[in-house]
Amino acid sequence: MSDKVPGQITYDIAEREIMSSGHLACPGCGATLSMRLALKVLGPRTVLCIPACCWAVIDGPFPYSSVGVPLVHCAFETAAITATGVRHALDVRGQKDITVVAWAGDGGTFDIGFGALSAAAERNENILYICYDNEAYMNTGIQRSSATPVGAWTTTTPAEHPKEEPKKNLVEILGSHRIPYAATATVAYPDDLNRKLEKAKNMTGMRLLHIFSPCPPGHKSLESDSIKISRLAVETKVFPLYEIENGTKFTLNRESAGVPVTEYTKLQGRFKHLTEAELKQMQERVDYEWDILMKRIAVFA
């Protein structure tokens, strides 16, 4: 990493491309950019375990594959445990240097795969779990998941009755398992993502990376706005960039930019039904959650 001057953008992104073109992603897909960036850091000695999710499709149909590393497709609820099985087998076979990654969407992580994820975390399995979070079941046509934010439209939470429950806090829950590392990241901050991947790659035990991934068809946003939405998610405090080491040491990676939540919501059709009062409530909730996070950081600093 080069010396940083405050305010100056100096991204250190590896030139190498492990992933190839020809994949089946939608234009503007944050999950695909996440994979491209992740593989640059993780390198060719990586095995991916991918359950049912957008990425089960994006990689390409048999006999094609675009990721450039071995990819074990697995059942919806089994990303963490399949990766665990691969990890133990590679260890037994003397291939301990290979990074084993479970790469799953929010449905496979927050919902159906949560039991296996929690169990792998409890056993502190030596895997890197990456959740690319597009905040709903996008692959099956935008149904709500427990990662869908409160107020959002999905095909199972119509605009007349949008999602009433707040999003599950994945990173805090995984942190409570006292795993070595849990962190958030998003594609608008590739330097931060890079650093976290590098850090996670070089640790042993269970590591979790939660990547917020804009989804133009699911969020009803412009393909050209994906990076902007990713950045605004952080600047509005909707998706703070932070990390938790050993479950207790919280570190904030990006200060609040103080941008109002409406700057984030107005770019996404999934929030367009919200009234001024509801948007105000959303702002209050975001501020409240941010305050809690600041307190945690302060307590364990």
Partner 1 sequence: MEKVLTGNQSVSWGAMRARAQVIAAYPITPQTTIIEELASLVSDGKLDARFIKVESEHSALAACIGAEQAGARSFTATSAQGLALMHELIHWASLARLPIVMADVNRAMAPGWTIWTDQNDSLSERDTGWLQFYCESNQEVLDTVLLAYKIGERIKLPVMLILDAFFLSHTAEAVNIPEPEEADAFLPPYEGDLIVDVENPRAFGGMAGVDYYQEFRYMQQEAMLEGLKVVEEVGKEFGERFGRHYGLIEPYRCEDAEAIIVTSGTVTSTARDVIDEWRDRGESVGLLKMRTLRPFPIDLVRETLRGVPKVGVIDRNICPGFGGIWAQEIKAAMYDVDQADRPDIYGFIAGLGGRDVTPITVNEVLEKTLHPEKIEKHLNWIALKA
Using CB under 8 A as the criterion, which residues of the chain lie in contact with partner 1 when the complex forms? 44-47, 49, 56-57, 59-62, 64-65, 67-75, 77-78, 81-93, 95, 98, 115-116, 118-119, 122-123
Identify whether the C-beta of residue 34 lies closer than 8 Å to the C-beta of residue 106.
Answer: no
For residues 294 and 298, give the distance between their C-alpha atoms in angstroms, rounded to a whole number.
Answer: 6
Closer residue to partner 1 in complex, CB, 100/244: 100
User: ∠133-239-178 over CA atoms, to 5°?
Assistant: 75
Closer residue to partner 1 in complex, CB, 85/166: 85
Residues making up the chain, counted from first to last? 301
Closer residue to partner 1 in complex, CB, 59/192: 59
User: Minimum distance from CB of 19 to partner 1 (Å)?
Assistant: 11
Identify whether the C-beta of residue 79 lies closer than 8 Å to the C-beta of residue 113.
Answer: yes
CB pairs under 8 A, 24+ apart, for 59-67? 59/23, 59/24, 60/22, 60/23, 60/24, 61/24, 64/22, 66/19, 66/20, 66/21, 66/22, 66/23, 67/18, 67/19, 67/35, 67/39
User: Minimum distance from CB of 54 to partner 1 (Å)?
Assistant: 12
User: Minimum distance from CB of 148 to partner 1 (Å)?
Assistant: 25
Closer residue to partner 1 in complex, CB, 95/248: 95
**Helix %, strand %, coil % of the chain (to 5):** 40, 15, 45
Identify which of 55, 218, 207, 224 has the alpha carbon closest to the alpha carbon of residue 121. 207
User: Minimum distance from CB of 8 to partner 1 (Å)?
Assistant: 37
Closer residue to partner 1 in complex, CB, 178/266: 178
Closer residue to partner 1 in complex, CB, 125/243: 125
User: Minimum distance from CB of 129 to partner 1 (Å)?
Assistant: 14
DSSP state of 205: S
User: Minimum distance from CB of 45 to partner 1 (Å)?
Assistant: 5
